[in-house]
């Protein structure tokens, strides 16, 4: 059983200071946890969100939670959920329009305002920080408040924030992170890293900033001082944990990315006889997640495979559903409760590539993971939240008939393609910008899609504005919640209120 440990280093100083000056004597009614006041408690964003969620909880008589699972569909905006619903239904031979995703069964729904402190349209770092710490911060920074200067290592000192994962660890709860992106990528890294740049994933990325004492994100995961550390951390990104002299365990023509000589996989394994590192499906299958093992899973040098391509991976890697089930099995071994983040990270990457099919397949994979979680947990003691960090410029347009393939050309009936003013057919799904932009150096002329298979895996949707990578969008995204304390979700919410939905439900903050 995990015990509440007082750690050394930065987090210990926070908690020691809290014991002297800012601890609350308020316990939760059901789980006996003592609320703390984190260092960011005087931040204006924090205080406003705290009061809004508290008022909503009182008005709705919201309950307490033993456990929290937050699912984040990276880039899963409203249009992605709608298209993903139709795609999932049609994929299973059902009516797509009336199909219901698992996430759509949640009773408490709200909109989330995703802007950053310095950005009308945000990135995954600032939005994730909002969700895990209760403050809005600057784009591309992690674990720091709005006073940080992006890319300036020296500006981090004194501007750190404490995350719900750190609070949970120090209260004796289990913690875990799962992502189909690199585990050092912005969203999962928000749970543990303090970095003036989300791009400092290994020591080579730091460059001269390393001389100022800043640590790279991968090393921060292994060196994380909160409690006794993560019970489970699984995703991609193993090159950031291995040295340039180490051959990749699967792809022998590649090596790690670290110059400092630290083999972080070996350091993780050396922590105790319970710590283990896995790299592939075989390693995953060999783990008994119903024990007290502490697992670091690194299944790719960079991001994990898109769900559409996963079957073609040479050594195999677990699905997001399987990772979710395993992570729940592991953290459930802690009788004090747990906090778990599950990210469908590659939804975002499919959109950036202008490739809606891969984005929607990964949305479906995330929903399957959500369904599996619903089957495993007791909602009377577990809060589940599904949300997105930000949206994308995906559009659903035209007047296609009911049942028209969501990835197909817009058609009023079988073979009756709708056409633009240029006399050419168009797809139901498109992007405001991206690699499929119609304009180029020679002017603007949209390709004729009449004989193009727009449902092919590699088809890139047409876009209005040409750009090498499609961009994020700034409209509100959905928050869907169910289970213990889920009544705290409702209305139009600031994104940083999500932190208080989780932390107040758990009794970790007032």
Residue 248 included in any domain: no
Report whether pLDDT(425) > 80: yes
Considering the domain boundaries, does residue 120 fall inside one?
Answer: yes
- From the list 64, 112, 124, 197, the catalytic residue is 124
- Residue 356 domain boundaries: 9-232+304-309+319-393+472-506
Model pLDDT, residue 12: 37
Instruction: Tell me what percent of the residues of the chain surpass a pLDDT of 90.
Output: 89
In residues, how long is the chain?
A: 510
pLDDT, tens digit (0-9, with 9 covering 90-100), for 314-336 = 668 999 999 999 999 999 999 99
Do 372 and 402 fall within a single domain?
A: no
| 183 and 134 share one domain | yes
pLDDT, tens only, 155-166 = 999 999 999 999
Instruction: Give the pLDDT score at 175.
Output: 99
Q: How confident is the model at residue 15 (pLDDT cuts 50, 70, 90)?
A: very low
**Contact predicate 341/178, CB 8 Å:** yes
Domain co-membership, 494 together with 448: no
Report the domain count for the chain.
2
The string over 64-101, giving b where at least 16 C-beta atoms fall within 10 Å of a residue's C-beta and e elsewhere, is bbbbbbbbbbbbbbbbbbbbbbbbbbbeeeeebeebeb
Query: pTM for this one?
Result: 0.94
Q: Residue 314 has what pLDDT?
A: 67
What's the CATH number where 358 sits? Answer: 3.40.720.10
pLDDT of residue 53: 98
Asked whether residue 347 falls in the same domain as residue 417, the answer is no
In a shared domain, residues 160 and 25: yes
Q: What is the mean pLDDT of residues 245-255?
A: 95
Residue 500 Cα to chain centre, angstroms: 17
Taking only the tens place, the pLDDT of each residue in 65-82 is 999 999 999 999 999 999
Q: Where are the alpha helices (DSSP H) in 194-345?
A: 203-206, 217-222, 264-269, 281-285, 320-331
Distance CA 437, CA 440 (A): 8
Please name the helix (run of DSSP H) or strand (run of DSSP E) that holds residue 214, with its range, or none.
none
- For the chain, the average pLDDT equals 93
If asked whether residues 406 and 389 sit together in one domain, one would say no
For the residues 480-486, what does the mean pLDDT come to?
98
Residue 124 is a catalytic residue: yes
What is the pLDDT confidence band of residue 209, given thresholds at 50, 70 and 90? Answer: confident
Query: Over 90: is that where the pLDDT of 283 sits?
Result: yes
Residue at 272 is within a domain? no
Residue 377 sits in the same domain as residue 414: no
Measure the CA–CA gap between 302 and 217, rounded to whole angstroms.
14
406 three-state secondary structure: coil
Which pLDDT does position 29 carry in this prediction?
53
Task: Flag whether 416 is in a domain.
Answer: yes
| Same domain flag for 415 and 496 | no
Within this chain, do residues 374 and 424 fall inside the same structural domain, yes or no?
A: no
Pairing type for strands 108-113 and 232-236 reads unpaired
pLDDT digits (tens, 9 = 90+) for 16-55: 333 333 333 334 457 999 999 999 999 999 999 999 999 9
Q: Closest by alpha carbon to 15, among 37, 33, 31, 34?
A: 37
Same domain, 327 and 204: yes
Q: Is residue 290 part of a domain?
A: no
Block residue for tokens 């193009």: 452
pLDDT in tens, 296-313: 999 999 999 999 999 877
Statement to judge: residues 28 and 83 lie in one domain: yes
Q: Would you call 51 helix, strand, or coil by DSSP?
A: helix
CA distances from 399 to 93, 355, 409, 420 (A): 22, 21, 11, 12
In a domain, 139, yes or no: yes
* pLDDT tens for each residue of 121-180: 999 999 999 999 999 999 999 999 999 999 999 999 999 999 999 999 999 999 999 999
Residue 7 has pLDDT above 70, yes or no: no
**Beta strand segments in 366-417, E:** 382-387, 391-392, 394-396, 411-413, 416-417
64 & 156 share domain: yes
Q: Is residue 34 part of a domain?
A: yes
Give the neighbor-by-neighbor strand order of the sheet with 394-396: 394-396, 429-434, 463-466
Residue 48 belongs to a domain? yes
- For residue 94, the model assigns a pLDDT of 98
Give pLDDT, residue 442: 78
């Amino acid at each position: 059983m995990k015990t509440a440990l007082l750690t050394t280093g930065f987090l210990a100083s926070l908690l020691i200071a809290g014991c002297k000056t800012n601890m609350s004597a308020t316990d939760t009614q059901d789980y006996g946890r003592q609320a703390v006041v984190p260092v960011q408690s005087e931040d204006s964003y924090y205080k406003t969100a705290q009061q809004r969620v508290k008022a909503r909880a009182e008005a709705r008589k919201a309950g307490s939670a033993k456990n929290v699972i937050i699912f984040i569909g990276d880039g899963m905006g409203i249009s992605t959920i709608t298209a993903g619903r139709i795609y999932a239904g049609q994929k299973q031979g059902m009516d797509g329009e009336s199909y219901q995703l698992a996430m759509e069964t949640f009773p408490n729904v709200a909109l989330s305002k995703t802007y950053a402190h310095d950005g009308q349209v945000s990135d995954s770092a600032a939005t994730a920080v909002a969700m895990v710490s209760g403050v809005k911060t600057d784009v591309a920074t992690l674990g720091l408040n709005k006073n940080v200067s992006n890319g300036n290592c020296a500006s981090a000192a004194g501007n750190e924030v404490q995350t719900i994962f750190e609070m949970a660890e120090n209260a004796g709860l289990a913690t875990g992170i799962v992502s189909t992106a690199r585990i050092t990528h912005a969203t999962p890294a928000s749970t543990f890293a303090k970095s003036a740049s989300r791009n400092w994933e290994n020591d080579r990325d730091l460059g001269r900033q390393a001389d100022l004492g800043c640590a790279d994100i991968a090393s921060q995961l292994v060196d994380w001082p909160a409690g006794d550390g993560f019970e489970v951390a699984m995703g991609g990104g193993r090159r950031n944990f291995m040295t340039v002299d180490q051959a990749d365990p699967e792809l022998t023509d590649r090596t790690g990315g670290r110059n400092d000589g630290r083999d972080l996989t070996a350091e993780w394994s050396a922590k105790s006889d319970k710590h283990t590192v896995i790299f592939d499906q075989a390693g995953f299958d060999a783990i008994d997640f119903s024990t007290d093992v502490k697992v670091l899973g690194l299944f790719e040098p960079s991001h994990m495979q898109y769900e559409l391509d996963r079957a073609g991976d040479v050594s195999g890697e677990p699905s997001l559903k399987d990772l979710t089930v395993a992570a729940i099995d592991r953290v459930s071994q802690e009788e004090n409760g747990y906090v778990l983040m599950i990210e469908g990270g590659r939804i975002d990457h499919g959109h950036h590539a202008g490739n809606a099919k891969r984005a929607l397949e990964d949305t479906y994979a995330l929903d399957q993971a959500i369904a599996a979680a619903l089957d495993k947990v007791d909602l009377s003691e577990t809060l589940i939240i599904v949300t997105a960090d930000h949206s994308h410029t995906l559009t659903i347009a035209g007047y296609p008939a009911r049942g028209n393939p969501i990835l197909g050309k817009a058609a009023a009936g079988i073979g009756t393609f709708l056409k633009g003013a240029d006399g050419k057919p168009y797809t139901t799904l498109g992007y405001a910008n991206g690699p499929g932009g119609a304009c180029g150096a020679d002017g603007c002329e949209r390709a004729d899609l009449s004989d193009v298979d727009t449902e092919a895996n590699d088809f890139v949707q047409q876009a209005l504005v040409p750009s090498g990578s499609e961009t994020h969008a700034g409209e509100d995204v959905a928050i869907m919640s169910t289970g213990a304390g889920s009544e705290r979700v409702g209305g139009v919410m600031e994104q940083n209120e999500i932190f208080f939905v989780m932390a107040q439900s758990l009794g970790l903050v007032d």
